[in-house]
Amino acid sequence: MRRPIALLWVGLSVILSCLTILLPQTLAESATPPPQIIISQIKITSSNGQFITLYNNTNGTIDLATIQLQYFNSYDLLDATSGKLISLSGKVPAHGYIIVNDGPVQVCYQMVVDSVSLGLSTSKGMIQVGHLTSDKSPQFISVLDDYIAWAKPPSSTSPPLPSGVAPLPTSTGEFLQRQPLDGQNAPRVGAIGEGFWLSAQQPDGSSLCNSGPASVGNGNQLLAATPPPPNIISTSSGANLPAVDAGLAAPQLSEILPNPAPPLSDATDEFVELYNPNDARFDLSGFALQAGISTTHNYIFPSGQFILQPHEFRAFYASQTSLTLSNDTGQVKLLDPSGNVLSESDAYMTAKDGYARVYANGSWQWTTTPTPSAANIINAPPAAKKSATASKTTKTASKTAVKSAKTTAKPKVSNGTPPSAVTAVGNLHPLVLAGVGTLALLYALYEYRHDLANTFHRIRRNRAAG
């Protein structure tokens, strides 16, 4: 009798162990938070370059060093013959964007730009994005946030694409855009792979960013994440105020270039950029740009010469204004005809060659990519090198983290569901182990049914005799 009893104990132990593993996992999966980073747009066709736009779906800044973007040349991983990790760098502000591109692309709203070699397949493929976390183990793991699988549209005689695979646009100038969108035209995605994809036209020199369906982001502007300045133009501000400006939001300082890089010169190529957040034209007659802190200099816009178009970015160069921007400590303000401050930059410190000061997400910051009279490109300067003393102090402390990080050369997906066409390969699911344990238990009961019946008979007989 020891053998059937042993088998029974083994089967019960396996089942209880699987339930112990499965129940907490099921509860955790039911409370899975929304994805941190979302694939917002992707362009596969080779015309005008390929790009991937990612959206920060959180309320905090994301360090791109913790994001893993992986590409496969097939939406079915069993058919994929190649894949690669696409390196990212920089930081993305809360509800901000990063575009990863391999060629020139017209940027129509505020985003981080990271140029890398993509080489995405124009026939079929898949991209997964995830973030690194060490919350669940001493080692870093990659948690899947989102994916997109694509393929060429099937012909009339071909079978339909598998569920979850988006058909590529037929025009080489189009890209795929994530749907649905929220009130800020950001992708509204609450779970991995949720939503659907629509084709959109890539803008070019003849297609403006705010011209309806042709716009990247479908209407997003540079300052979409930042409310207009609280100053509303009123006729009581002064007798010289243009009447057409009454009731409009004041223009906003959006970018300044205090120290142009050679061969540009300070005398002619320094600029101050204004952005008109209104849906109507704004007349700058009588308004003034003021440069300096302790000593200031003003440039008053001549009457009828400068009118900002709706949602226009316009740079005013030193050759026009004769304003000199300090390379050390400076500030720029926009004044109304009565001298009231409508918009102002922060008091910046040392301005390096070619660095522009830009307004983004409610604060001023440096970018290495000046964009006069165009939407700002937030390309953060490289971080300063640590001193030798600081490096020695942190070297020992970072050894453990480096060892752990080495295990993430290839991302391992810890949660999420890939497209139905993708065959996932991994460890045995606890349900499989529970099934094996159950079969072992049932087999033991069947194989030793006679011994068990005799045992129960003896027990009943002994009780009756007692």
Q: What is the average per-residue pLDDT within 21-46? A: 70
Q: Which DSSP helix (H) or strand (E) runs through 321?
A: helix 318-321
Altogether, the residues listed in the chain come to a count of 466
pLDDT at 92: 83
pLDDT at 79: 84
Question: Which DSSP string corresponds to 266-290?
Answer: HHHH-EEEEE--SSS-EE-TT-EEE
Judge whether residue 149 has pLDDT over 70. yes
Beta bridge partners of 131: 67, 143
pLDDT band for position 360 (cuts 50, 70, 90): confident
Q: pLDDT tens digits for 379-390?
A: 777 765 544 444
pLDDT band for position 15 (cuts 50, 70, 90): low
Q: How many CA atoms lie within 13 A of 327 on its CB side?
A: 11
Which token pair is 453? 């019946």
> By CB neighbour count within 10 A (0-12 exposed, 13-18 middle, 19+ buried), where does 450 fall?
exposed
Per the model's pLDDT, the better-predicted residue between 128 and 27 turns out to be 128
Task: Collapse the DSSP code of 350 into the 3-class scheme (helix H, G, I; strand E, B; otherwise coil) and give the result.
Answer: coil
- Ranking 28-42, 68-82, 155-169, 302-316 by mean pLDDT, the lowest is 28-42
Judge whether residue 300 has pLDDT over 60. yes
Q: What is the average per-residue pLDDT within 348-356? A: 91
Q: pLDDT tens digits for 62-115?
A: 888 888 888 998 888 788 888 888 878 778 888 888 888 776 655 555 566 666
pLDDT at 35: 87
According to DSSP H, which parts of 360-421 are helical? 388-405
Smallest CA-to-CA distance from 258 within 367, 379, 185 is with 367
According to DSSP H, which parts of 323-383 are helical? none
Q: pLDDT tens digits for 157-179?
A: 888 888 889 998 888 778 888 98
Q: What is the average per-residue pLDDT within 343-360? A: 90
Distance CA 68, CA 131 (A): 6
pLDDT at 32: 63
Judge whether residue 232 has pLDDT over 60. no
Judge whether residue 240 has pLDDT over 90. no
Distance CA 238, CA 459 (A): 106
Distance CA 288, CA 306 (A): 12
Question: What are phi and psi for residue 430, nearest 5 degrees?
Answer: -55, -30
Please tell me whether the peptide bond between 187 and the residue prior to it is cis, using omega within 30 degrees of 0: no
Question: Which DSSP string corresponds to 10-77?
Answer: HHHHHHHHHHHHHHHHHHHHHTPPPPSEEEEEEE-SSTT--EEEEEE-SSS-EEGGGEEEEEESSSST
Sole residue written with tokens 């209407």: 219
Cβ–Cβ < 8 Å for 4, 10: no
Strand-by-strand arrangement of the 111-115 sheet: 196-201, 174-179, 37-43, 51-56, 97-101, 111-115, 377-378
pLDDT at 18: 58
Can you say how many angstroms the Cα of residue 158 is from the centroid of all Cα atoms in its chain?
A: 35
Q: Can you give the pTM of this predicted structure?
A: 0.44
Sole residue written with tokens 């575009």: 99
Cβ–Cβ < 8 Å for 54, 96: no
Can you say how many angstroms the Cα of residue 26 is from the centroid of all Cα atoms in its chain?
A: 28
pLDDT band for position 413 (cuts 50, 70, 90): very low
Q: What is the average per-residue pLDDT within 336-340? A: 85
Cα dihedral value 151, 157, 159, 163, nearest 10: 50
Distance CA 359, CA 378 (A): 10
- Highest-confidence range of 23-37, 194-208, 401-415, 445-459, by mean pLDDT? 445-459
Distant-in-sequence, close-in-space partners of 230: CB < 8 Å, separation ≥ 6: none
Which token pair is 438? 């159950």
Q: What is the average per-residue pLDDT within 234-255? A: 75
Task: Collapse the DSSP code of 373 into the 3-class scheme (helix H, G, I; strand E, B; otherwise coil) and give the result.
Answer: coil
Smallest CA-to-CA distance from 40 within 170, 216, 225 is with 216
Distance CA 121, CA 115 (A): 18
Sole residue written with tokens 């918009």: 343
